[in-house]
Amino acid sequence: MTEVEGTDTRTRLLEAAADLIAATPGEDFSLRAVCDAAGVKMPTLYHFFGNKQGLVEAVVERGFDMYLSAKSSTESSGDPIQDLRLGWDAHVAFGLENPGFYTLMYGKVRPGYSPEAQSKPSEILRGLTLKAEQDGRLVVGHEQAAAHVLATNIGVTLRLVIQGKNDPELSAGVREGVLAAITGTGQSEPGDGRLGHAVIERAAANPDILGETETQLLIQWIGRLGEV
């Protein structure tokens, strides 16, 4: 072989598969079509990827890399809650821009097994919720918060991918509801000891609004309201 093609055969196969998946999101694809597009016969594909699942996993890993590189370019605000917001939006945006990849990454429902690479974004998410917990911003455990965010973020994104069009109002609404739920910015149940958490946070963070003595009094009053 004269090796006129500049790219590696394995990379060519990977890109051909990615193109086919992106071209028909949600549909199945044929290994022979991948090989034809890469100008190669099937045993070559099997040589590099073992079987179809191996190819799919390689494509998924590639998808997660794309996702992470697109995500890491935006996430830097220092505030973990704000980072969760940015991460949420980046997640939704990636899903809508790459429905084929997203389907393989998060839409595959094979009980008991989740793709390897899926752990990386989850790690980032857990890092954020852990930091938020250490900053005292959470009213639930950081694992619980991460699971909460992940499940709803995937749910909203899958929904938007299925119906094919974006709905910023829905995404933002669910996002803020979720953040409110895990930060206690919204009161979940009377009598759980967290009544007025958001008010206290805001007042304590800005004691100049009411003045220092008034702020202390406010916090004390809200505490008495919550005790009953």
* Chain positions contacting a copy of itself, by CB under 8 A: 25-27, 99, 103, 107-112, 114, 140, 144, 147-148, 150-156, 158-159, 161-164, 167, 169-170, 173-174, 176-178, 180-182, 185-190, 195-196, 198-199, 202-203, 206, 209-210, 214, 218, 221-222, 224-225, 228
Is 108 a residue that touches DNA (CB under 7 A)? Answer: no
Judged by CB under 7 A, the chain residues 32 through 71 that form the site for DNA are: 32-33, 39-44, 46-48, 51-53
Residue number, 10 or 62, with CB nearest to DNA: 10
Q: How far is CA 137 from CA 89, 132, 148, in A?
A: 20, 5, 15
Picked from a copy of itself, DNA, none, the partner binding residue 96 (CB below 5 to 8 A depending on kind) is none
Is 31 a residue that touches DNA (CB under 7 A)? Answer: yes
Picked from a copy of itself, DNA, none, the partner binding residue 156 (CB below 5 to 8 A depending on kind) is a copy of itself
* Mutual angle of helices 119-134 and 168-183, in 10-degree steps: 50
Residue number, 48 or 181, with CB nearest to DNA: 48
> Which phi and psi (to 5°) does residue 195 adopt?
-60, 130
Stretch that binds DNA, among 25-33, 105-113, 125-133, 170-178 (CB under 7 A): 25-33
Encode burial over 7-23: b for 16+ CB neighbours within 10 A, e otherwise. eebbebbbbbbbebbee
Provide the minimum distance between the beta carbon of 20 and a copy of itself in the complex, in angstroms, as a whole number: 15
Binding-site member from 7, 30, 72, 188 for DNA (CB under 7 A):
30
The Cα 35–Cα 43 span in angstroms is 9
> Which phi and psi (to 5°) does residue 178 adopt?
-65, -45
Provide the minimum distance between the beta carbon of 14 and a copy of itself in the complex, in angstroms, as a whole number: 22
Q: What is the 3-state secondary structure (H, E, C) of 10-49?
A: HHHHHHHHHHHHHHCCCCCCCHHHHHHHHCCCHHHHHHHH
Residue number, 72 or 114, with CB nearest to a copy of itself: 114
Residue number, 56 or 199, with CB nearest to DNA: 56
Residue number, 9 or 118, with CB nearest to a copy of itself: 118
* Mutual angle of helices 31-38 and 42-49, in 10-degree steps: 100
CB 152 within 8 A of CB 178: yes
